[in-house]
A = this chain, B = another copy of it.
C-alpha cells in the first residue's frame, strides 16, 4: 500500500469558534488508495487525542527501519474493513495537534516565534472546519464515509451536524454527545501534570528542554484510563520483574510498573506537551446539547446513514450515551444502527481489540441501511 504524505498550506485565515482566527494554517495529512474520477470514494478518518494522521501503513524511520504501524492499521488497507483497494482513505492531523498541522509548536507569522500558549483555543468545530477546507481543495464534495472514535467520533458528529450534505455514511465509535464531568476532571489533572514541570515554562520551551517529565507523567496517568483494570490484570497481573520480590524498595518491581515507565518515556518523545494541553481543552468544550439544544434537531433533514459502536466495558464513554445519539438520529428519521460490543479493553477497544469491530464496519460500508426492524430494543439491545 502506498502512503501519500502531504501538507496543505492555506494562506487565508481560519476563523475559530473562540472569536480569534489563525491568520494562515497548514494541515498535514496522509492518504491511502486512489481517489476515483468522480471523487466519490473518499473515506475520512478522524483521529483521537493521542493519535495523528499516521492512521495506516508501516512508515520507515530515518534510519530506514520500520516504525510502529499507524494507529488504525488493522482497519485500513487492501482487503481490510476500510478497504484501500476500493476507497481513497484520508486522515488529517487536526489543528492544535502534534503531527505537523498548525499548532502551538508552529511559528506565529505575526511574531516569528512559536505560538506556545499564545495559540488560540481550538474546538472540535474548528477541527472540522479545517478539514472541510482541505476537502474543498481536494474537490471532495461528499465523503463516502467519515469515521472516528472518541475525539475522532466527536469530529464525525460535528461533520454530521455542520456539513450534513458532505457525507453519506458516519461511523461513530466510543463517543458521546458531550464529555462527562469525569473527563473534564481527567484532562484538568493531565494539564496540571504538564504545567507542574518547571521545564514547561508557561509553554515557552521550544528550542529548549521540553517538559518531558510532566508530559510523561500525564501519559502514565492517562494510561490508567485507556487501559482498564481487567486489561491490566490480564496483561500484567501481579507478575514481578524478577524473582526477588517483594524487594521492599521503590524501584519498579512489578511488570505493570515497568510498562508505565515505558508509557511515560514514549509519550515524552512523541507528544508535544502544549498540543496535549490544547487538544484536551477542545474536548472539554465538546457538548452538542449546550444551552438545551435538542440533539435530534442537529441531524434534521440529513440523508446519511449512521453506525454507532460502543463497548459494554467502556465506562468512560458508555453505551447509554451512544444510545442517546442513536435515538436522536432515529427521531430525526435517519437510518441508524447501534452495535454494543464486548471487549475487556474498554475505551481503547476500537484500536486494541478490533476483531469484533472489523466485520461491523466492513458490513456497514458495503450495506449501510440496517436490515433489522428499526426498534431500539432489537437493533441495540438497550432499554
Contact = CB atoms under 8 A, between A and B. Distances in A.
A18 interface: yes
A363 interface: no
Nearest to A214: B196
Given A224-B182, A229-B315, A233-B181, A249 B121 contact: yes
Interface string A1-24: 000000000000000011100000
A121 B337 CA distance: 55
Interface residues of A, number: 57
Interface stretch (A93-101, A149-157, A253-261): A253-261
Given A197-B196, A238-B287, A250-B191, A256 B184 contact: yes
Interface stretch (A107-115, A277-285, A293-301): A277-285
Interface in A107-138: 117, 120-121, 123
B285 A224 contact: no
Interface stretch (A77-85, A167-175, A215-223, A351-359): A215-223
A232 interface: yes
A198 interface: yes
**A-side interface mostly:** helix
A264 B185 CA distance: 12
A221 B225 CA distance: 11
Contacts of A237: 181
Interface of A: 17-19, 117, 120-121, 123, 178-182, 184-186, 188-189, 191-193, 196-198, 213-214, 217, 220-221, 223-224, 228-229, 232-233, 235-238, 246, 248-250, 252-254, 256-257, 259-260, 264, 277, 281, 284-285, 287, 315-316
Given A19-B248, A182-B224, 10 more contacts: A17-B248, A18-B246, A18-B248, A123-B246, A123-B248, A185-B256, A186-B224, A196-B196, A198-B198, A221-B221
